[in-house]
Amino acid sequence: MSISDKIDNLLIKAEIGRNLTRTDIIALLKAPGDYSTDIFDVADRVRRQQMGNEIFLRGIIEFSNYCERNCLYCGLRKSNSSLSRYRMTEDEIIATAKQIKKTGVPTVVLQSGEDSFFSTDRICRLIEQIKNETGLVITLSVGERSASDFQSFQQAGANRYLLKHETASPELYKYIRPGCHLDKRMQCLRSLKHLGFETGTGNMVGLPGQTMEILADDLIFMKQLDADMLGIGPFIAHPDTPFAGIDNDDIELTLRVVAVARLLTRNTNIPATTALATLHPQGRLLALQAGANVVMPDFTPEIYKSRYDIYPGKTDTNPAEETIEKLKSDIQSIGRTINFSVGNRQIRPYQGITH
């Protein structure tokens, strides 16, 4: 069978929803560049069929750029002494959540480095206040915590949790996140699923030492976890980290991983990540046409926004209201509309790891 026939057959199989094997996934990731458009088109059709034509918004507040970890790729790593650190006050966080509510965005994502200043009690208090004063659906993205912390967050009113696994290779994980273990991360994700959180995971594409086989394992992990949200972004080297100077301008491969994630997981919520918009002026729109269906405007106040410096060149430094206005016209240009509802994934009871 020619490569062309093989890829065509795989795409037919993927579009009708038959399961893709690890070998199939690797073949789609490795297919020559000419096949990208076909892969994106099929993922776009599956997205339309599973999720409709609407794009859901989540408003992010990056409330602390302190982090106790030392990930080799990240500008927030604790050894980066050139970063000017900040913690938003509780009043500032609540005021920003109210601003999100005012724009009609129905969910807030509270994101920070791993910062133990924000103890379980402090975060629970924030969740309760935001719930009482805005009624927003609350997503947390505050790193690894214990199962009992997750339970406390849930009892306080948190609905969703984002914890990217970053890479499914235990060796690569250990290398890029010194002192951390992939098993522990995966255990956190399983606890979140068992508790009934809408759970997001995801990876970085283009990491040094990453192979197509590792990327396939990332995708299989996302599927096996039955993740509800998938954040897939390109690795972008930060100049104040040990990975400074490593080139990655391969937006194409990131889009391919987004597309295959859609083919594999069908009805998950997949954001067009800010990192994609950083690598390419049309990155966000390209992702929305390759399987993505969510955008996450950044509501962090201007005085802090540029200091949440995970990777360099974040383009989304305008006020979130302006970003949403621009989004509306961009999204219209590709025949889509914004949906201001919560956009839950259709919930099924978690059955544990599926194979």
Q: Applying CB under 6 A, which residues contact ligand SF4?
A: 67, 69, 71, 74, 76-77, 113-114, 143, 310
Residue located via tokens 């690598």: 279
Q: Select 205 or 310, whichever has its Cβ closest to ligand SF4.
A: 310
DSSP-derived secondary structure for 106-156: -EEEEEESS-TTS-HHHHHHHHHHHHHHH--EEEEE-----HHHHHHHHHH
Q: Strand pairing partners for 109?
A: 60, 139
Q: Select 106 or 143, whichever has its Cβ closest to ligand SF4.
A: 143
Q: Select 166 or 198, whichever has its Cβ closest to ligand SF4.
A: 166
Both tokens of 66, joined, read 């302190």
Kindly state the smallest distance separating residue 72's Cβ from ligand SF4, in Å: 9
H runs (alpha helix) in 141-198: 147-156, 170-176, 182-195
Which is it for strands 59-64 and 198-205: parallel, antiparallel or unpaired?
Answer: unpaired
Q: Select 76 or 138, whichever has its Cβ closest to ligand SF4.
A: 76
Kindly state the smallest distance separating residue 75's Cβ from ligand SF4, in Å: 7
Kindly state the smallest distance separating residue 110's Cβ from ligand SF4, in Å: 14
Kindly state the smallest distance separating residue 77's Cβ from ligand SF4, in Å: 4
Residues 45, 46, 47, 51: is their CA dihedral positive or negative? positive
Distance CA 201, CA 228 (A): 8
Kindly state the smallest distance separating residue 232's Cβ from ligand SF4, in Å: 15
Q: Select 278 or 293, whichever has its Cβ closest to ligand SF4.
A: 278
Residue located via tokens 């103890």: 119
Q: Select 64 or 96, whichever has its Cβ closest to ligand SF4.
A: 64
Kindly state the smallest distance separating residue 238's Cβ from ligand SF4, in Å: 10
**C-alpha radius of gyration, the chain, whole number:** 19
Q: Select 31 or 310, whichever has its Cβ closest to ligand SF4.
A: 310
Strand order in the sheet with 59-64: 59-64, 107-112, 137-141, 160-162, 198-205, 229-234
Kindly state the smallest distance separating residue 113's Cβ from ligand SF4, in Å: 4
Kindly state the smallest distance separating residue 67's Cβ from ligand SF4, in Å: 3
Both tokens of 130, joined, read 């935001």
Q: Select 4 or 79, whichever has its Cβ closest to ligand SF4.
A: 79
Q: Identify whether the C-beta of residue 145 lies closer than 8 Å to the C-beta of residue 183.
A: no
Distance CA 23, CA 126 (A): 45
Distance CA 154, CA 165 (A): 21
Distance CA 258, CA 289 (A): 10
